Amino acid sequence: MNFDFSDEQLAFAKEVEHFLDEHDDPEVFDLTRENMAQIVDTPKRREFMAQVGERGWLGITWPTEWGGTDGDGVYEYLLNEALAARGGPQIGKGVGIIGKTILRHGSEKLKREFLPKILRNEIEFAVGYSEPEAGSDAASMKLKATRDGDGWRLNGQKTWTTSAHFAEWYWVGARTDPENKHQGITLFLVPLDQPGITINGIWTMGDERTNDVFFDDVFVHDDYVVGEVNKGFQYISEALDLERFTMFTISPIQQRLDLLCDYVATETIDDRPRREDQVVRERIAQLVTETAVARGLGLRVVAQSMKGGAPPTTEASEYKLFATELSKRMANAAMDIAGPGSQLRVHTEDAPMKGRSESTYRYTVIDTIGGGASEIQKNIIARRKLGLPKNF
């Protein structure tokens, strides 16, 4: 595959950078918020993403009949990476997960109701797959959906639902057939202000809020069933492939690597430059090499997605596994190389790298779990690419 961008693609990247320069705002861009925290969770961030939508950039890959430009996935990649490089909100769930799934499987009603709002960034979504007894194994979910006239009654609990406290709609999987694990799940779109929904906050070690969401006899009309009844696990699997790529960008990893390299190039210990320490040099060389590998794996997902059809499954898992585990290794290296001072909290001015090591050390653990934990990615790669049996 060709790792170089065309002149047209480079011109688009330059246009995006110019736009970001014009709209630079510390309330929108914060480099200390890592991948999964780069969400549209404040009025300022929502207003900014609406301006991105006005440029026609939120629907670059969508068909023209639904407001897109039928563009190649590489343009979406360039946009998302540019946003992530500055710590800004990413295109996220609406465009990258919900919108693309509705385009592939949603009814005409769902397309007419949601797609224009997504492109204008008028609506935010929370995604509900995980439950207390169904984490990365989404097929084990037990939230019960029972037929009631022209709709369904939902009862049960979801957990680890980022965005539920500010989103308008819940993209949620529920069990509609208790006798069939993988073919008994249905996807629903539920307004989060619906009677019977209770949202309780959970604070993560990365200082970000996620949520428990409880359903008590919540009614959902058939119009808000996504695709076919009992086909939800198929749609969720496709959406997770998109999430594993679009929500875990390489730009923050590269930015942290550059910060670490700058630190090593200028700091000394006992009057000896850190850059002359052979162990440090070898560790930096390894991280630089692995970051280049992660970038290549990401571009391979882009290349595969441009061929059409379903999202690339094993490629997305390989990228997600490698990139998020690399992110942890880089955080560990920064803490080791910077020494005890690296434990000072982020934004501490006299801390090494202003405390970025401390915050990324906490954040990167979360990244290895969201979108399917590393162990799940290994299982996907083993079964779908290496052909190993399920119980190996």
Residue 114 to residue 197: CA distance in whole angstroms? 21
Where are the domain boundaries for CATH 2.40.110.10 in the chain?
Answer: 126-230
pLDDT digits (tens, 9 = 90+) for 101-118: 999 999 999 999 999 999
What's the pLDDT at 365? 87
Region of residue 355 (phi > 0: left; psi between -120 and 50: alpha; otherwise: beta):
left
Q: What is the mean pLDDT of the chain?
A: 91
Average pLDDT over residues 278-295: 96
| More reliable by pLDDT, 8 or 303 | 8
Where are the domain boundaries for CATH 1.10.540.10 in the chain?
Answer: 7-124
| DSSP states of 195-220 | TTEEEEEEE-TTS-EEEEEEEEEEEE
Backbone angles phi, psi at 197, to 5 degrees: -100, 130
pLDDT digits (tens, 9 = 90+) for 135-149: 777 788 999 999 999
Does residue 37 surpass a pLDDT of 80? Answer: no
What's the pLDDT at 2? 63
Residue 310's pLDDT band (boundaries 50, 70, 90)?
Answer: low
Residue 27's pLDDT band (boundaries 50, 70, 90)?
Answer: very high
The residue among 372, 392, 324 whose CA lies nearest residue 138 is: 372
What's the pLDDT at 23? 95
What's the pLDDT at 36? 66
**Angle in degrees, 0-180, between the axes of helices 7-22 and 73-85, rounded to the nearest 10:** 30
What's the pLDDT at 337? 94
| More reliable by pLDDT, 308 or 22 | 22
Where are the domain boundaries for CATH 1.20.140.10 in the chain?
Answer: 250-384
CA distances from 190 to 96, 127, 128, 173 (A): 19, 11, 10, 10
What's the pLDDT at 14? 97
Task: State which fold the 7-124 domain adopts.
Answer: Butyryl-Coa Dehydrogenase, subunit A; domain 1 (1.10.540)
| Element spanning 151, H or E | strand 151-158
Residue 200 to residue 182: CA distance in whole angstroms? 29
Q: Are 118 and 107 in contact (CB under 8 A)?
A: no
Cβ contacts of 160 within 8 Å, gap of 6 or more: 130, 135, 202, 210, 211
Q: Quote the tokens at residue 123.
A: 């609506």
- pTM of the complete model: 0.88
Q: Which overall architecture, per CATH, does domain 126-230 show?
A: Beta Barrel (2.40)
Does residue 392 surpass a pLDDT of 60? Answer: no
Task: State which fold the 250-384 domain adopts.
Answer: Butyryl-CoA Dehydrogenase, subunit A; domain 3 (1.20.140)
What's the pLDDT at 39? 84
What's the pLDDT at 306? 72
Average pLDDT over residues 246-261: 90
Residue 160 to residue 90: CA distance in whole angstroms? 19
Task: Map residue 189 onto helix, strand or coil.
Answer: strand
Q: Are 235 and 97 in contact (CB under 8 A)?
A: no
pLDDT digits (tens, 9 = 90+) for 197-248: 999 999 988 888 999 999 999 999 999 999 999 999 999 888 777 666 677 8
